[in-house]
Structures are given as C-alpha cells and as structure tokens.
Structure 1
C-alpha cells in the first residue's frame, strides 16, 4: 500500500478512537434533574399500566 494509504488509514483510526474517547468522557456529565427523573418514572408507570391493560384486552 502506498504511503498516502497508510496515512489515511491511521488518520481514520485516530478519528474513530478520539470520537469514542470523547463520547466516553462526556457520558457521565449529563445529569438529569430530580424533577425530570420523577416525570420519567411517572410516564413509565403510565405506559406499563397501559401496556398491561392492552395485554388483558387480548
């Protein structure tokens, strides 16, 4: 493979690894407020109740 091919290959791998590392580092910094978490749990309970109701109907 020519030298330019190796350069492109190394550059592509570096971009992929760098992107994954940035994603990993930023994954824990996104905190959800207690109020939003409460709304999420309430909505989840509503959906589960609706799903159970639909299962009973079938």
Structure 2
C-alpha cells in the first residue's frame, strides 16, 4: 500500500480515538443539585401517575 494510504488510515484512526476521548471527557459533567432535585420530583410524579393509571385498569 502506498504511503498516502497508510497516512489516511492513521488519520482516520486518530480521528476516531480523538472523538472517543472527547466524548469521555464531556461525560463527566456534574448536574447541579437543584436540577437533580427537580428531576427526582418529576420522576416521582410520573411514577405516581403511572401507578394511578395502572390501578384504574
């Protein structure tokens, strides 16, 4: 294979690895406590609503 082919393969491999590393680094974002509380509250409301609908059947 010519040198340019190897260069393209290495470049593509590097881009994939770089993208995965960037994704891993951005996944460590912290959610503020007030937003977590809001999420938990909404989840509890939805579960309660689902339980009420389930009981109606």
* Fold shared, TM-score > 0.5 on shorter chain: yes
RMSD: 1.5
Map of 2:5 onto structure 1: 5
Where does structure 2 lack aligned partners over 5 or more consecutive residues? none
Map of 2:38 onto structure 1: 39
Deviation at 1:15, TM superposition (A): 0.5
Where does structure 1 lack aligned partners over 5 or more consecutive residues? none
Cα distance in 2, alignment partners of residues 32 and 49 from structure 1: 24
Number of residues paired by the alignment?
57
Map of 2:24 onto structure 1: 24
TM superposition outliers: structure 1 runs of 4+ over 4 Å: none
Q: Deviations over 1:2-58 (max 9, x none)?
A: 433322221111101011111112221x21111111100000001111111222223
TM-score normalised by L of structure 1: 0.77
